[in-house]
């Protein structure tokens, strides 16, 4: 890809790729016969010997509204596109829709070599069952971090406390909700402050009013998040410098980390501030560029690697970073299940490694197959227990 195209990268078409029925070829290996969603084995332009590894792309029913189940879905996948890409390298790739606990137990019985999924957990009869916990129990490899790491990053206050304890720079912060800090004197940090939801992603709840300069604006924004997001707030010292995101790839064979920084630039809003808010992300109004300054690149890379390790991240992830007024990078938050459409993680791969989308997906799968490769011991399905 020409360098000018990489520099100009801003908005990438993430439309789904449909696979015609007539392209579905071949018979299934015995463990996969009778599946409701059979695999599509697509011809490739280059004749190569495909890997015999078996991969299941695990999804939820279409009827489930992902926008209302964000806590249980870590990554929204275009499963048909992922299927086409993985089928170019692996002989046995299927899409498995999990409707019931019985479906999940059948998956464990088939024991695929890799589960490729963006699902965090399922809710069966009012009880949450974390997918990666289940897969760990049955010795099945998956593509991302384990539950413990995901728990650490999802609570932004907990993640920041881990950074502080690990010596990674992060802004001072506290947690609040309506009436938790009822008077001006009860607010423990000096203004300006930045107010956002304690959990969640995609900059939900962040807008031009997220930077607060006095008690009235502080109280108003906290109430807004309480009413619109039904969440407590993370409040931190406002960092006025440049904004970055750093993709991380871990080589699961060597545990070596590769950091891929990008800078995210937004226009000033009505208040003269530059905030990467929900609407800017939704409508792709930001500009993403490569980090060309060698010193800044190293600072961002070192911080992101340290943060990823401190959280116990595996395989891949993304660390968000912002500079203060003195251009010192600070940890903002982490995403250990970053989006696998064509967002910041993909753009980090493209701008740093000249890695296209198919190469990125294949590397994630290869990494997942290497990760937990020692999980070959027998795990009896009959001993399955649901834990809240």
**Residue 164 domain flag:** no
Last residue of a domain, one of 212, 238, 264: 238
Residue 248 and residue 230 share a domain: no
Cβ-contact 373, 141 below 8 angstroms: yes
In angstroms, the CA 310 to CA 302 distance is 12
Q: Are strands 51-59 and 90-97 parallel, antiparallel or unpaired?
A: parallel
Band of the pLDDT at 203, cuts 50, 70, 90?
low
Q: Are strands 173-176 and 121-124 parallel, antiparallel or unpaired?
A: unpaired
Place of tokens 């002989």: 91
Cβ-contact 86, 361 below 8 angstroms: yes
**What are 234's strand-pairing partners?**
175, 196
Please determine, for residue 377, whether its predicted confidence score (pLDDT) is greater than 80: no
Residue 234 and residue 195 share a domain: yes
For the ranges 14-23, 89-98, 172-181, 365-374, the lowest mean pLDDT is seen at 14-23
In angstroms, the CA 148 to CA 144 distance is 12
**Residue 161 domain flag:** no
Cα–Cα distance list, 344 to 73, 234, 286 (Å): 18, 23, 11
**Residue 188 domain flag:** yes
Q: Where are the alpha helices (DSSP H) in the chain?
A: 3-7, 79-87, 101-110, 131-137, 147-154, 156-166, 215-229, 278-282, 294-311, 344-353, 357-370
**Residue 160 domain flag:** no
Residue 215 and residue 254 share a domain: no
**Per-residue pLDDT, 275:** 80
Residue 206 and residue 322 share a domain: no
Please determine, for residue 296, whether its predicted confidence score (pLDDT) is greater than 90: yes
CATH of the domain at 208: 3.30.1490
Band of the pLDDT at 48, cuts 50, 70, 90?
low
**Residue 348 domain flag:** yes
Percent of the chain with pLDDT over 90: 60
In angstroms, the CA 257 to CA 248 distance is 7
**Per-residue pLDDT, 191:** 95
Looking at the structure of the chain, the number of domains it has is 3
pTM of the model: 0.81
Mean pLDDT of 232-253: 93
**Residue 134 domain flag:** yes
The distance from CA 129 to its chain's CA centroid, rounded to whole angstroms, is 19
Please determine, for residue 347, whether its predicted confidence score (pLDDT) is greater than 70: yes
Q: Which two tokens stand for residue 296?
A: 């800044």
CA angle 177, 179, 181 (to 5 degrees): 80
Cβ-contact 288, 281 below 8 angstroms: no
**Residue 223 domain flag:** yes
Cα–Cα distance list, 285 to 264, 279, 288, 301 (Å): 10, 8, 10, 25
**Residue 309 domain flag:** yes
Which domain, by its residues, includes 282?
A: 240-370
Mean pLDDT of 194-210: 81
Mean pLDDT of 163-176: 96
64-112 pLDDT, tens digit per residue, is 444 444 566 767 788 999 999 999 999 999 999 999 999 999 999 999 9
Mean pLDDT of 294-301: 97
Place of tokens 């509204």: 65
Cβ-contact 50, 91 below 8 angstroms: yes
Last residue of a domain, one of 238, 265, 293: 238
Residue 260 and residue 361 share a domain: yes
Instruction: Count other C-beta atoms under 10 Å from residue 161's C-beta.
Output: 14
**What are 129's strand-pairing partners?**
122
192: preceding bond cis by omega (within 30 degrees): yes
In angstroms, the CA 263 to CA 265 distance is 6
347: Cβ–Cβ under 8 A, 6 or more apart, which residues? 9, 12, 262, 288
In angstroms, the CA 373 to CA 388 distance is 28
DSSP element (H, E) containing 96? strand 90-97
**Per-residue pLDDT, 276:** 80
Residue 327 and residue 213 share a domain: no
Residue 245 and residue 202 share a domain: no
Residue 253 and residue 338 share a domain: yes
Please determine, for residue 132, whether its predicted confidence score (pLDDT) is greater than 50: yes
In angstroms, the CA 233 to CA 195 distance is 6
Instruction: Count other C-beta atoms under 10 Å from residue 147's C-beta.
Output: 15
């Amino acid at each position: 890809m020409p360098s000018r195209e990489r520099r100009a990268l801003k908005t990438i078409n993430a439309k789904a790729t449909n696979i015609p029925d007539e392209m579905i070829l071949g018979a299934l290996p015995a463990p996969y016969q009778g599946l409701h969603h059979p695999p599509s084995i697509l011809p490739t332009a280059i004749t190569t010997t495909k890997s015999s590894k078996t991969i299941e792309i695990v999804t939820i029913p279409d009827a489930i509204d992902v926008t209302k189940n964000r806590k249980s879905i870590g990554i929204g996948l275009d499963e048909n596109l992922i299927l086409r890409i993985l089928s170019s390298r692996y002989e046995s790739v299927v899409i498995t829709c999990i409707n019931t606990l019985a479906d999940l137990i059948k998956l464990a019985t088939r024991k695929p070599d890799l589960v490729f999924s963006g699902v965090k957990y399922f809710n069966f009869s009012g009880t949450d069952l974390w997918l990666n916990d289940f897969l760990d129990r049955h010795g099945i490899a998956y593509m991302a971090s384990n539950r413990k790491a995901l728990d650490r990053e999802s609570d932004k206050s907990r993640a920041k406390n881990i950074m502080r304890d690990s010596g990674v720079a992060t802004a001072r912060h506290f947690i609040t909700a309506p009436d938790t800090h009822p008077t001006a004197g009860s607010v423990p940090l000096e203004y300006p402050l930045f107010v956002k939801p304690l959990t969640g992603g995609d900059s939900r709840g962040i807008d031009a009013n997220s930077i607060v300069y006095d008690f009235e604006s502080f109280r108003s924004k906290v109430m807004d998040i309480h009413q619109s997001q039904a969440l407590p707030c993370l409040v931190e010292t406002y960092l006025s410098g440049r904004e970055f995101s750093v993709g991380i790839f871990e080589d699961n064979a060597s545990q070596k980390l590769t950091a891929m920084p990008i800078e995210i630039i937004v226009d000033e809003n009505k208040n003269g501030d530059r905030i990467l808010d929900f609407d800017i992300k939704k409508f792709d109004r930001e500009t993403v560029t490569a980090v060309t300054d060698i010193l800044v690149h190293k600072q961002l890379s070192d911080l992101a690697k340290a943060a990823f390790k401190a959280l116990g991240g595996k395989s891949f992830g993304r660390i968000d970073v912002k500079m203060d007024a003195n251009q010192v990078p600070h940890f903002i938050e982490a995403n250990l299940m970053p989006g696998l459409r064509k967002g910041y993680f993909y753009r980090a791969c493209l701008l740093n490694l000249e890695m296209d989308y198919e190469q990125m997906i294949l590397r994630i799968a290869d990494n997942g197959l290497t990760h937990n490769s020692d999980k070959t011991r027998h795990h009896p399905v009959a001993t399955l227990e649901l834990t809240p």
